Amino acid sequence: MLINGLQTDQAEAMGLMAPSLFIRLFLLGIVPAFMIGNIRIKRLSWQQATLQKSVTLLLSIVLIAVCLMPFGDQYASFFRQHKIVRSYVNPITPVYSVIKLGTDYIAERRRPDTLIPHGTDAKRSITFNTSNTSNSAVKPKLMVFVVGETVRADHIGLNGYARNTTPLLSKQSNIYSFKDASSCGTSTAYSVPCMFSYANRRTYNPDSASYNENVLDTLHKQGVNVVWRDNNSSAKGVADRVTFEDYKTAVLNPDCDIECRDIGMLDGFYKLVKSGSSQKETPKDTLILLHQMGNHGPAYFKRYPKDFAEYQPVCMTNELSKCDNQSVINGYDNAIRYTDYFLNSVIDTLKPYEQDYEVVMVYISDHGESLGENNIYLHGLPYAIAPNAQKHVPVIIWSPTGNGIDSSTIANSSLANMIDQPVSHDFITPTLLQFFGITTDETKAAPTFFKVTN
Ligand SMILES: [Zn+2]
């Protein structure tokens, strides 16, 4: 309403200034303020006052915690579904809103007009160009990078989870599943820009990410064909300057029932990848990013078609408190089976391109999820206090032999050995640059998920 008032014309703004506004303001604002102002307050010394206020504050926090704890599951899903309630119940909201309007304005004024460049010294050490297409030793690169949603590492069958939630991937060869990977943040809006930024988890600032160039910008400038297909809320500003395709609606996505499915993002894949032999077009280094709906909660039961409802019974409401814990987990695990199917389809889609390209698939989730441990649900807790369930994410790489990625068991840095090392979202930007043969001082000596040998 404040923004409405400021942005509209004078006539309409005056429409908001009805006489009743001033009567209310007088009766409910000025009169009580005058009465309170006249109350004589017994002055305490600052030591006494500090002590008294600290005790009151502490007791209030304890009281709030005691009241909230038994209903953690209800509150988590309720406030997530009805975010606006947090403002309605809080009498401070109008004051907070005025301050926020002011600080937003200042932040907007301070924001640089131009992007802060990164990777300005980027060079391609491996150059693939049209003149050496006859040289079969040099193939262009093709990577599909799947940005996962809300999947925690310990519910992945490949990682030793008691349930085989990844039956299809288990049957694929050349699969590497990292056992100890941590995310940058605990929410999509925080993690996704961080994953593709030049910052690492410690230096990353979510507020400035939108005006800093990211690794997709560098790849694009270096001639890599970059396409972002999105079946999530958005690319969170990461794909603003590369090709972006929205698969959230049936306009592009052919697989929509109660919602549009991730598998629809593979529709017309061949159009993104020019196959040298079949289409008489020059193959080009290509990076395709697929941003999944994945395991987005709390309505896990909506995240997969019926065929994937392996584990029963399933919690069929987004009010997690109405369900027993096991049925919440069942829905969550069923959704992972759908991601297993999706990733398996990505791999099968990529296989025919192996002769013309050096192909690889990388899957990394943006953050994990709490599923009722200590009565904590969903995600988004501050990193320092978030449980591992929200921070440990799956990293799964499909890397067929002969694609230039070292998968031998000899080198310490090979894929086969790296899967047991601690890795993180910080590895993504250097890995992408390295795979496409691009070097820059900004990522010099930064660790990567694998080494490229040619
Ligand atoms: Zn997310």
Q: Which residues pair with 364 in a beta bridge?
A: 147, 395
CA of 202 to the centre of ligand 1 (A): 19
Comparing 444 with 278, the larger pLDDT belongs to 444
Q: Average pLDDT for residues 297-309, to the nearest whole number? A: 94
Q: Which residues pair with 286 in a beta bridge?
A: 142, 225
CA of 151 to the centre of ligand 1 (A): 8
CA of 316 to the centre of ligand 1 (A): 21
CA of 119 to the centre of ligand 1 (A): 27
Q: Average pLDDT for residues 348-366, to the nearest whole number? A: 95
18 CB contacts (<8 Å, ≥6 apart)? none
Query: For position 277, what pLDDT does the model report?
Result: 52
Determine whether 269 is exposed, middle or buried from the number of CB atoms within 10 Å of its CB (0-12, 13-18, 19+). Answer: middle
Q: Which fold has domain 123-443?
A: Alkaline Phosphatase, subunit A (3.40.720)
219 CB contacts (<8 Å, ≥6 apart)? 226, 287, 432, 433, 436, 438
Give the containing element (helix H, strand E) for 181: strand 181-182
CA of 365 to the centre of ligand 1 (A): 8
Determine whether 60 is exposed, middle or buried from the number of CB atoms within 10 Å of its CB (0-12, 13-18, 19+). Answer: exposed
Closest to 395 measured CA to CA, from 350, 331, 448, 437? 448
Please give all residues whose CB falls under 5 A of ion ligand 1, grouped by chain where several chains appear. Answer: 149, 188, 366
CA of 274 to the centre of ligand 1 (A): 31
Give the integer Cα–Cα distance in Å for 449 and 372.
31
CA of 72 to the centre of ligand 1 (A): 20
Closest to 3 measured CA to CA, from 135, 128, 101, 147? 101
CA of 336 to the centre of ligand 1 (A): 14
CA of 149 to the centre of ligand 1 (A): 5
CA of 162 to the centre of ligand 1 (A): 24
Query: For position 131, what pLDDT does the model report?
Result: 46
With contact defined as beta carbons under 8 Å apart, do 413 and 406 qualify? Answer: yes
Q: Is the pLDDT of residue 253 over 70?
A: yes
Q: Is the pLDDT of residue 399 over 90?
A: yes
Comparing 81 with 322, the larger pLDDT belongs to 322
Q: Is the pLDDT of residue 73 over 90?
A: no
Query: For position 280, what pLDDT does the model report?
Result: 55
CA of 376 to the centre of ligand 1 (A): 17
CA of 18 to the centre of ligand 1 (A): 44
pLDDT in tens, 123-182: 987 655 444 444 455 789 999 999 999 999 999 999 999 999 999 999 999 999 999 999
CA of 311 to the centre of ligand 1 (A): 23
Ranked by mean pLDDT, which of 97-111, 264-278, 373-387, 424-438 comes out on top? 424-438
Least confident of 171-185, 239-253, 315-329, 336-350: 315-329
Q: Is the pLDDT of residue 407 over 90?
A: no
Comparing 404 with 425, the larger pLDDT belongs to 425
Tokens of 252: 């592009």
Type of residue numbered 281: E
Q: Average pLDDT for residues 381-400, to the nearest whole number? A: 95
Query: For position 5, what pLDDT does the model report?
Result: 72
CA of 391 to the centre of ligand 1 (A): 11
Query: For position 132, what pLDDT does the model report?
Result: 45
Give the integer Cα–Cα distance in Å for 195 and 210.
13
CA of 290 to the centre of ligand 1 (A): 13
Q: How many helices (H) and strands (E) does the chain have?
A: 17, 13
CA of 148 to the centre of ligand 1 (A): 8
CA of 170 to the centre of ligand 1 (A): 25
CA of 296 to the centre of ligand 1 (A): 7
How is the chain split into domains, by residue range?
Answer: 44-109, 123-443
With contact defined as beta carbons under 8 Å apart, do 93 and 99 qualify? Answer: no
CA of 454 to the centre of ligand 1 (A): 35
Q: Which residues pair with 245 in a beta bridge?
A: 229
Across the chain, what does the average pLDDT equal? 90
Give the integer Cα–Cα distance in Å for 57 and 46.
16
